[in-house]
């Protein structure tokens, strides 16, 4: 049956109920000027995902931006309510698909706080190594795609070349290249295999030099500099009122970094610096993230040098699976294994909010437990979702080409925004 005219028009009418009446200034006086509303996205390579922007233009100048999101909403938070705690980890990892270790870390940290699980030191160091590798990988994708938006094609290939090395390391430690499910409640899934350390040392040997190359290529490129320097600045106070954190806030001169301010997972053991910018323009956003790659390499090196011996996951059998070899000899191990796999572990009732510093800002996981083996509510405070609100403040009044550069420097991940 074909849809009737009336039904379709009703659907289209509702679709078009996104009003544009409140957008922008009233059209200026005079016969030659009028505002032009451009539907930018959702399928556009420069939106870094399925992001739709209703952009109101006056000539080439952006007067207002209204982001429309939700195209890749998959109900992950709802799904998580229907799964045992340890089965939630692979689900939440798929939110922000470039920083999956961070999603897992926020969730595991929240559950560990609720259940009062102590994470062994070795597991904390292994987590730091993987988190910082993931931060570099995420920044490499950001750098490559941002440069691509500015017309520099080759740097994208260079960045993916180094990211491959990181994904090889992830594959080595967990068997997966993305969404590795490596972090578990209470520690990490497996200890790092033989040969991982040598390969990781090779990587941290070459990475600073490669980052030097990116910096040299882009910092001596006249076009890149012209498009980044002085475009779309926003001061730290406005950013804070909009809830923006992470490299965007640090680029404006506020050195807020949760790794330093409220250290988790042994970050206070490592010496590293927080790169900050001065004016908060697009160039500072670029420079801060590039400098963070070096700091992450430093952290990885220290974590690898100081990697303590010991278990890689908590020895609390009520939380973590027993080692495979115990199943053949120990009845208790078998019972624990059965209970954990069928029902999962129970978590005391209560609510926690666990913030960490993701590559994009404060990523926090709110978990409410009702005492059962499934969370009653999982909410991710995703930095991309909050940071996106700053786009209109940054780019209004500038040229549409600068808006593209600003969106690239904002680094939104739509999987994280829509969840």
Partner 1 sequence: MPDATGLELLAKELRDENTVGSEAILGTLHFRARATLEVRPEANRAVLAYLRGRGYASLMSVHGVDYYPHEPRLGVHYELLDMSAVDRVTVTTRVSTDAPALDSVTPDGPDGPGWPTANHQEREVYDMFGVVFAGHPDLRRILMPEDYEGHPQRRDFPVGGEPVIFTYNEHESFGVTR
Q: Which residues bind partner 1 (CB under 8 A)?
A: 1, 3-4, 7-8, 10-11, 14-15, 17-18, 22, 69-70, 73, 75, 77-79, 81-82, 113-114, 116, 240-245, 254, 256, 261-262, 350-353, 355, 362, 364, 366, 368, 376-377, 379, 381, 385-386, 388-389, 418-419
Residue 11 or 36 having the CB closest to partner 1: 11
How far is 116 from 139, CA to CA, in rounded Å? 33
Q: Helix 196-219 vs helix 154-174: angle between axes, to the nearest 10 degrees?
A: 160
**Token pair of 204 as six digits:** 């941290």
Nearer to partner 1, 69 or 333 (CB): 69
Q: How far is the CB of 385 from partner 1 (least distance, A)?
A: 6
Residue 204: CB minimum distance to partner 1, A: 30
**CB closer to partner 1, 238 vs 330:** 238
The length of the chain in residues reads: 419
DSSP codes joined into one string, 171-214: HHHHS-SSS---EETTEESSPPPTTHHHHHHHHHHHHHHHHHHH
Determine whether 253 is exposed, middle or buried from the number of CB atoms within 10 Å of its CB (0-12, 13-18, 19+).
middle
- Smallest distance, Å, CB 90 to partner 1? 17
CB of 390 to partner 1, least distance (A): 9
Alpha-carbon span 235 to 176, nearest angstrom:
40
Residue 383, token pair as written in the block: 């930095």
- Is the CB of 58 or the CB of 113 nearer to partner 1? 113
Looking at the Cβ atoms of 7 and 154, the one nearer to partner 1 is 7
Neighbours of 294 (CB within 10 A): 17
What DSSP state is assigned to residue 399? Answer: B
Nearest distance from C-beta of residue 136 to partner 1, angstroms: 25
* Cβ distance to partner 1 smaller for residue 204 or 380: 380
Residue 30 Cβ vs partner 1, minimum distance, rounded to whole Å = 29
| CA dihedral for 234, 239, 244, 247, sign (positive or negative) | positive
Minimum gap (Å) between residue 190 Cβ and partner 1: 28
Are the C-beta atoms of residues 109 and 356 closer than 8 Å to each other? yes
Dihedral angle computed from the Cα positions of residues 377, 119, 307 and 295, in that order, rounded to the nearest 10 degrees: 30
Are the CB atoms for 359 and 352 separated by under 8 Å? no
**Which is nearer to partner 1, 148 or 185 (by Cβ)?**
185
* CB-nearer residue toward partner 1: 386 or 408: 386
Question: Whose Cβ is closer to partner 1: residue 223's or residue 262's?
Answer: 262
Shortest Cβ 350–partner 1 spacing (Å): 5
Give min distance, CB of 56 to partner 1, in A.
15
Burial grade of 21 (CB within 10 A; 0-12, 13-18, 19 or more): exposed
DSSP tag of 327: G
């Amino acid at each position: 049956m074909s849809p009737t005219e009336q039904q379709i028009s009703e659907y289209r009418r509702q679709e078009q109920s996104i009003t544009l009446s409140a957008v922008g200034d009233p059209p200026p006086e005079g016969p030659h000027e009028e505002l032009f509303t451009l539907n930018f996205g959702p399928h556009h390579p420069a939106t870094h995902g399925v992001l739709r922007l209703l952009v109101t233009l006056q000539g080439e100048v952006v007067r207002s931006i209204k982001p429309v999101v939700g195209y890749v909403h998959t109900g992950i938070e709802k799904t998580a309510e229907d799964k045992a705690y340890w089965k939630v980890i692979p689900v939440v990892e798929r939110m922000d698909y470039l920083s999956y270790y961070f999603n897992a870390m926020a969730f595991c940290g929240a559950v560990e706080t609720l259940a009062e699980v102590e994470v062994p030191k070795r597991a904390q160091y292994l987590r730091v190594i993987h988190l910082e590798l993931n931060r570099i990988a995420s920044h490499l994708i950001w750098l490559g795609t941002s440069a691509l938006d500015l017309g520099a094609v080759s740097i994208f290939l260079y960045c993916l070349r180094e990211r491959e090395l990181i994904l090889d390391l992830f594959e080595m430690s967990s068997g997966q290249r993305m969404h590795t499910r490596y972090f578990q409640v209470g520690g990490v899934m497996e200890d790092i295999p033989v040969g991982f350390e040598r390969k990781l040392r090779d990587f941290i040997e070459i990475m600073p030099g490669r980052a030097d190359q990116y910096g040299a290529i882009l910092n001596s490129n006249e076009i890149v500099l012209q498009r980044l320097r002085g475009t779309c600045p926003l001061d730290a106070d406005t950013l804070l009122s909009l809830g923006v954190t992470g490299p965007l806030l640090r680029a404006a001169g506020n050195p807020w970094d949760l790794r330093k301010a409220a250290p988790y997972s042994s970050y206070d053991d490592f010496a590293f610096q927080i790169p900050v910018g001065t004016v908060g323009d697009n160039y500072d956003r670029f420079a801060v993230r590039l400098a963070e790659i070096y700091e992450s390499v430093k952290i990885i090196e220290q974590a690898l040098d100081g990697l303590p011996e010991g278990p890689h996951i908590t020895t609390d059998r009520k939380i973590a699976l027993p080692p495979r070899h115990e199943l053949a000899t120990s009845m208790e191990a078998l019972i624990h294994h059965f209970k954990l796999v069928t029902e999962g572990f129970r978590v005391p009732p209560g609510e926690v909010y666990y913030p960490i510093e993701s590559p994009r800002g404060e990523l926090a996981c709110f978990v409410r437990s009702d005492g059962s083996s499934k969370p009653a509510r999982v909410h991710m405070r995703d930095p991309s979702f909050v940071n996106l609100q700053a786009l209109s403040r940054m780019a209004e009044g500038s040229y549409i080409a600068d808006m593209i550069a600003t969106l690239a420097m904002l680094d939104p991940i739509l999987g994280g925004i829509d969840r």
